[in-house]
Structure 1
Amino acid sequence: MKTLLSKLIVGATLALNAAPLSAQTIGPGGEAATPTSEIAVPESSMEVLKAGGHTAALLWHDQSDFVNAVSAGATDEFARFGIEVVATTSAGFDAAKQRSDIETALVKNPSIILSLPLDPVTSAAAFEAARDSGVKLVFLSNLPADYQHPNDYAAIVTDDLYQMGKQAADALAASMGNKGTVGWIFHDAAYYVTNQRDNAFKTTIENDYPDISIVAEQGISDPARAEEIANAMLLRNPDLGGIYVTWAGPAEGVLAALRANGNTKTKIVTLDLSEPIALDMVKGGNVAAIVADEAYELGRAMAAAGILDLLDLDVPPFVVAPAVTVTAEDVAEGWMQSLNIEAPASLR
């Protein structure tokens, strides 16, 4: 899946100015997080909005199940208030293509643009014309360089990153009976999304589970090295009770290492939905749980933030969507809660 790749690019700029580790998700400038549940358009505004002839453009970084879910959440919220989506694009992780998409979309005079800025400097220039013409801008996780709230954009909307890491720790601990030794495979790069999630896992284990020890730590930047890293970790710690893996891609390599060693006891917890990882989980394998975000809710909240700004109502600068822990018992429900689609047939 491309979900995590998108999030790695998402976090590139915010990581440069990330605030110190806290027991909650914090924004790029240290802003407190507002839950998406608090971002709601007053029903009393419905008739005014429907009569306004407003439109929106969804200018995404790429195409994936994650992006599809965000788009669906946004489109449904816009439709409730009579706002037509006049453009939906995918830049394929190409900042130049994204700039072209913005220029093309502006020809249609959208009232609101939802987007994930790919490159801070290029995006700052690319969104300048939209900002200066009064288009309401809502960003997914990332922020163009030097953009200030509320003058330049309505809000940043992202995952509750701390809760994702904490829930991963809780799930792994539960699978081990709250005791034993674990390995921590974290993302070895300065990325806002993964750094907050990884550190939240470690902090939760250290603070909340006195009978669990992190005895092996290894950073990873290339997912292709995951199997090699896991083999080395298991060689030094053959009785390892569990392994946290920073996202689902490298978790597949860790799972391969466990299978190659005939290890059926070491549990894995990772982040972001993946069919191969979930398939092992539902078959009673090494995977104990997967923690994901509510992507559909991310889209709904982004649309609502843009509409609130359109109405000249206050919008918090930093908004987060809930995390969801998916287990073998509730994989179908978890898939629906996260992506608002049915789980793959192999899991059902």
Structure 2
Amino acid sequence: MKRSKIGLFTVVSLLLMVLILVFAGGSKETKKEAEKTVPVTKEKKVEPVKVEKLKKEIRTRGPQGQIPVWYTEIQLTEEDKAKIASKHYKVAYDQATPNKFNDTIGRAIEYRCKELGMEYVGKTMNNLDPAKQVENIENLLALHPDIIVALSVDPVTSREIFKKAADQGVVLVFASNKPSDFEWNKDYKGGLIIFDFYDFGTMLADALNKALNGKGKIGYLYHEANFFITNQRDQGFKEAVEAYPGLEIVAEVPWSGVPDDAETAVSAMIMQHPEINGIYIPWSQGAMPAVTALRTAGRTDVKVVTHDIDEDVALEMIKGNTIIALTQCKAWQYGLTAVDLGCYALLGKKIPAEAILIPGLSATRENIEEVWKEVYNEELPDQLKKALQK
């Protein structure tokens, strides 16, 4: 199938846009670009996922093909915690975008620092601007942190500033993406936190199979750019669907990542293939336009699944009958593990792999309240609670 042109977008600007959409999760929140550490708030401690749930083949890979291990391999002992507390280490976080997922990671980092007697010296916001990230890391280095947690916005242009940090002895914990040609345990100490991209796709295939009672014709919208996060989520869904004997993908359509393009693509898809009763959308920014297309066509019978949980899509899932499942990484666990991984490097403990994997959860109308708590470590927002009661 011929891929559509991106128009005026360059490859770099497209990937930056994708990072914004994937890591923003559809949030409409806005914040100032940079902020100092806010006072530590009380947070409820969340018990980790049971280890037996994680004993399965890992199909997800890191940005350079790294084979990850589960986050449960990173466990600080009481002796480790005492050593960390005695050193009064400092931690900083360069946040990518202001949204529920990234904000939760920041809260978890701050909480874990307080637990371990560490100082959370600063948080900055780069809004996925490569130049702003360089400026932020420079400012954070002036605070003399021992650990910096950050997503490498531009793997090429960010290399120099992160190399400077590493040369100063700073442990670097990268969130999903790291600089190019940046070799683990040679160019930097620390590691890479990623989430289970591939399995997110398999969870949505399972949810769609159940919603369609094991029999359906599927429209598959996939992200056309070469981007390791979305590509693996798409692949996981497609391969899982192909394993269900009663499901068949009858339309495969590339998507630029521009939300409005999803509405156009879905409209054309259901017109050409009216037999479609299930649709996969790569992430939530495209789901709402897809729902609009289905309603305009009077196709309220079609079920939609997508990735990322935010209030808008969760509300649509609760109130409507079209979006039936969403996935999201355990953001709170992500932040806790980022600090613990950094502590491993500070203590000189052996880290089993460069990439550390955080699991995700699949949410439906029936379990959204439970999933929201485990993902974000907070209660379901009031408007969603009220919608559930109707």
Bin of the TM-score, shorter chain as denominator length: over 0.9
> Structure 2 counterpart of 1:323, which letter?
G
- 1:129 Cα deviation from its structure 2 partner: 1.5
Aligned mates of 2:138, 2:158 — CA distance in 1: 12
SS in 2 for 1:250: helix
SS in 1 for 2:60: coil
Aligned mates of 2:379, 2:298 — CA distance in 1: 32
User: Which residue number corresponds to residue 117 of structure 2?
Assistant: 82
> Structure 2 counterpart of 1:301, which letter?
T
User: Which residue number corresponds to residue 8 of structure 2?
Assistant: none
Evaluate the alpha carbon distance shift between residue 83 and residue 3 of structure 1 in structure 2; reply closer, same or farther with a 3 A threshold.
Answer: farther
Deviations 1:122-154 (A, max 9, x none): 110111221001110000000111111123131
Contact 1:8 1:191 in 2 (8 A): no
Q: What runs of 5+ residues in structure 2 fail to find an aligned partner?
A: 1-15, 25-56, 386-390
SS in 1 for 2:172: strand
Paired residues, number: 335
Q: Please say which of residues 298-307 and 276-285 is displaced more in the overlay.
A: 276-285
> Structure 1 counterpart of 2:376, which letter?
L
SS in 1 for 2:375: helix
Higher relative contact order (CA 8 A, sep 6+): 1
1:192 paired to 2:192: no
- 1:26 Cα deviation from its structure 2 partner: 1.3
SS in 2 for 1:178: coil
User: Which residue number corresponds to residue 140 of structure 1?
Assistant: 175
SS in 1 for 2:194: strand
Matches within 5 A, 1:114-133: 114-133=149-168
User: Which residue number corresponds to residue 69 of structure 2?
Assistant: 34
**What TM-score, normalized to structure 2?**
0.82
Aligned match of 2:135 in 62, 83, 100? 100
User: Which residue number corresponds to residue 55 of structure 1?
Assistant: 90
Contact 1:142 1:156 in 2 (8 A): yes
User: Which residue number corresponds to residue 252 of structure 2?
Assistant: 217
Aligned match of 1:309 in 345, 370, 378? 345
Deviations 1:200-243 (A, max 9, x none): 10001112x01110001111112211111111101011121100
SS in 2 for 1:121: coil
Aligned mates of 2:97, 2:172 — CA distance in 1: 18
- 1:28 Cα deviation from its structure 2 partner: 3.0
> Structure 1 counterpart of 2:372, which letter?
W
Contact 1:60 1:88 in 2 (8 A): yes
Contact 1:70 1:296 in 2 (8 A): yes
Evaluate the alpha carbon distance shift between residue 58 and residue 343 of structure 1 in structure 2; reply closer, same or farther with a 3 A threshold.
Answer: same
Matches within 5 A, 1:153-232: 153-207=189-243, 209-221=244-256, 222-232=258-268
Deviations 1:179-204 (A, max 9, x none): 11000011110111100000110001
* Runs of 4+ displaced beyond 3 Å: 2-10
Aligned match of 2:361 in 324, 329, 348? 324
Aligned mates of 2:70, 2:179 — CA distance in 1: 22
**What TM-score, normalized to structure 1?**
0.92
> Structure 1 counterpart of 2:163, which letter?
E
1:66 paired to 2:101: yes
> Structure 1 counterpart of 2:20, which letter?
S
Evaluate the alpha carbon distance shift between residue 4 and residue 343 of structure 1 in structure 2; reply closer, same or farther with a 3 A threshold.
Answer: farther
Aligned match of 2:283 in 237, 247, 250? 247
Aligned match of 1:6 in 17, 20, 26? 20
SS in 1 for 2:192: strand
SS in 1 for 2:87: coil
Aligned mates of 2:135, 2:22 — CA distance in 1: 22
Aligned mates of 1:7, 1:114 — CA distance in 2: 20
Deviations 1:56-108 (A, max 9, x none): 11112221111111112222222211111101000121111111111111111
Matches within 5 A, 1:251-266: 251-266=287-302
Contact 2:107 2:335 in 1 (8 A): yes
Deviations 1:31-56 (A, max 9, x none): 22211122121221222211112101
Q: Please say which of residues 23-32 and 300-309 is displaced more in the overlay.
A: 23-32
Aligned match of 2:336 in 289, 300, 310? 300
User: Which residue number corresponds to residue 18 of structure 1?
Assistant: none
Q: What runs of 5+ residues in structure 1 fail to find an aligned partner?
A: 11-21
Overall identity of the aligned pairs, in %: 33
Evaluate the alpha carbon distance shift between residue 60 and residue 34 of structure 1 in structure 2; reply closer, same or farther with a 3 A threshold.
Answer: same
